[in-house]
Amino acid sequence: MATVRKRNGKWQARVRRVGHPGRARSFATKPEAQRWIRDVEAELDAAEAYRRQLARMGARPSMSRTACCDDNAPMESFFHTLKVELVHQRRWAIRDDARRDLFASIEGSYNRQRIHSALGYLTPEQAERTAT
């Protein structure tokens, strides 16, 4: 439900959706408030479409919640290492060269030689072999 009303001399826009907390914001003009409502509604519709697609695939979303900073930590650590060790060290003339080097770095070094504390100080390749 979306509402636009004038309050204390300012236009206030409020969007409420089932399962979502109310969002409110004040604007100088009514058209600005209406544009904001359209943007928020589009955002909520996109989020709902994303949730429906995940449900169809049988996937569970992985998103950090308040006070849960370690939900995405392994991927952030991976990308940090990749950037420090490879991406920030050089520039590529064409995208295919970058793809080739990224693949070689991940498959050649990161997965085969680098140990990970989250895997009990094994390489991903060793952890995969012990799991199967």
pLDDT tens string 3-16 = 788 888 888 888 77
pLDDT value, residue 22: 66
Residues 42 and 77 in one domain: no
C-alpha of 64 from chain center:
9
36 vs 52: CA distance, rounded Å: 24
pLDDT value, residue 10: 82
Residue 98 in domain: yes
For the full predicted model, state whether its pTM sits above 0.95: no
**How many domains does one find in the chain?**
2
Position of tokens 């952890």?
127
Residues 53 and 80 in one domain: no
93-111 tens-digit pLDDT: 999 999 999 999 888 887 7
User: Do residues 2 and 41 make contact, with C-beta atoms less than 8 angstroms apart?
Assistant: yes
Residue 41 in domain: yes
Residues 44 and 86 in one domain: no
23-73 tens-digit pLDDT: 778 888 888 888 888 888 888 778 888 888 988 998 877 666 666 666 677
- Domain of 8 in residue numbering reads as 2-57
